[in-house]
């Protein structure tokens, strides 16, 4: 069971906007920045969003992140077929003195 | 180009030991904390361990504390993970990951290796 809670699956049609939630605690998301990773099938994870809402260079602005209290969200607008992947949230947890990941959300583009 | 290349994954019996290595290139290795993250087959990501850049301070997940040891050799640009008392639940692809800070107290990794598979089975 993961320390951060994500829905196991999400879906949308091309062009739609989807959001993926990530729920944590006061010692994890409530105290530290949230980062999001995209993992395409058979590949290593890729940093998608850092510092709650910042995009690394090269990441399309269709991807956005937000945080409120002990929860965070990843939004993908203008959904494309190539967005079909697993998405993970992550944060440092001060109580555990370690990083924690969400269980991952498998995004399907219908 | 930043690159991380892991090696050392293998099939090992329960209770056995294994050492993973990760060779870094394309950046100043000594200036960044490094981490190991694993992924059991068909499952999600699990943070394993991290090591600071300047002082080699280390951090471990409870699931591996006392069994795994992370270390780094800045002269060889190499990160290592010594694993002992291995269990079936340690079976996973192990990724080496570069953080973006000096401190290992971070969940932000901007570069990942391709992973190396560790299988613990009799």
Report yes or no: A40 at the B interface, CB cutoff 8 Å.
Answer: no
* Residue B54 confidence (pLDDT): 77
pLDDT tens for A50-83 read: 999 999 999 999 999 999 999 999 999 999 999 9
CB burial of B90-106 (b: ≥16 within 10 Å; e: otherwise) equals bbbbbbbbbbbeebbbb
Burial label for A102, CB within 10 Å (0-12, 13-18, 19+), is buried
Using an 8 Å CB-CB cutoff, list chain A residues near B107. 32-35, 90-92, 99-101
* Residue A83 confidence (pLDDT): 97
Q: Average pLDDT, whole number, for chain A? A: 97
Find the Cα–Cα–Cα–Cα dihedral B112, B117, B118, B122, rounded to 10°: 170
Report yes or no: B106 at the A interface, CB cutoff 8 Å.
Answer: yes
Query: Is A50 within 8 Å of B110 when comparing Cβ atoms?
Result: yes
* Residue B56 confidence (pLDDT): 83
Using an 8 Å CB-CB cutoff, list chain A residues near B1. none
pLDDT tens for A89-98 read: 999 999 999 9
Nearest by CB to residue A44, choosing from B60, B105, B113, is B113
CA distances from A92 to A35, B22, B36, B50, B77 (A): 10, 23, 14, 12, 25
Nearest by CB to residue B114, choosing from A44, A51, A104, is A44
* Residue B55 confidence (pLDDT): 77
Query: Is B61 within 8 Å of A51 when comparing Cβ atoms?
Result: no
Q: How far from the centroid of its chain's Cα atoms is residue A61's Cα?
A: 15
Residue showing tokens 């080699």 = B56
Tokens matching residue B47: 């943070």
* Residue B111 confidence (pLDDT): 97
* Residue B68 confidence (pLDDT): 98
Query: What whole-number distance in Å separates Cα of residue B46 and Cα of residue B93?
Result: 10
**CB atoms < 10 A from the CB of A78, how many?**
13
**CB atoms < 10 A from the CB of B119, how many?**
15
* Residue A3 confidence (pLDDT): 87
Q: What is the Cα Rg of chain A in Å?
A: 13
- Asked whether the predicted pLDDT for residue A27 surpasses 90, the reply is yes
Written as tens digits, the pLDDT of chain B (122 aa) is 999 999 999 999 999 999 999 999 999 999 999 999 999 999 999 999 999 997 789 999 999 999 999 999 999 999 999 999 999 999 999 999 999 999 999 999 999 999 999 999 99
E strands, chain A, are 9-12, 18-23, 34-39, 46-49, 63-68, 71-76, 85-93, 98-101, 105-109
- For chain A, give the percent of residues with pLDDT over 70: 100
* Residue B78 confidence (pLDDT): 97
CA distances from B87 to A15, B12, B19, B67, B115 (A): 45, 9, 15, 10, 19
Using an 8 Å CB-CB cutoff, list chain B residues near A92. 105-107
Nearest CA in chain B to A33: B107
Using an 8 Å CB-CB cutoff, list chain B residues near A44. 95, 112-115
* Residue A2 confidence (pLDDT): 77
Residue showing tokens 């291995």 = B86
pLDDT band with cut points at 50, 70 and 90 for residue A12:
very high
């Amino acid at each position: 069971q993961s320390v951060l809670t994500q829905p196991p699956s999400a879906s949308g049609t091309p062009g739609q906007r989807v959001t993926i939630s990530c729920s944590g605690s006061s010692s994890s998301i409530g105290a530290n920045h949230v980062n999001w990773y995209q993992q395409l099938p058979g590949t290593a994870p890729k940093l998608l969003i850092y510092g709650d809402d910042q995009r690394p260079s090269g990441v399309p602005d269709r991807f956005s992140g937000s945080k409120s209290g002990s929860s965070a969200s990843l939004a993908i607008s203008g959904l494309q077929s190539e967005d079909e992947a697993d998405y993970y949230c992550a944060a440092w947890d001060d109580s555990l003195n370690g990083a924690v990941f969400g269980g991952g959300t498998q995004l399907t583009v219908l | 180009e930043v690159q991380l290349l892991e090696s050392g994954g293998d099939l090992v019996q329960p209770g056995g030991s294994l050492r993973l290595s990760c060779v870094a290139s394309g950046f100043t290795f000594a200036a960044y904390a490094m981490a190991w993250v694993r992924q059991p087959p068909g499952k999600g990501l699990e943070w394993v361990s991290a090591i600071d850049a300047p002082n080699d301070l280390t951090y471990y997940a409870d699931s591996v504390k006392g069994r795994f040891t992370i270390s780094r050799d800045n002269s060889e640009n190499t990160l290592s993970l010594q694993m002992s008392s291995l269990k079936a639940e340690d079976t996973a692809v192990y990724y080496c990951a570069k953080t973006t800070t000096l401190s290992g107290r971070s969940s932000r990794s901007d570069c990942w290796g391709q992973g190396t598979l560790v299988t613990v089975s009799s």
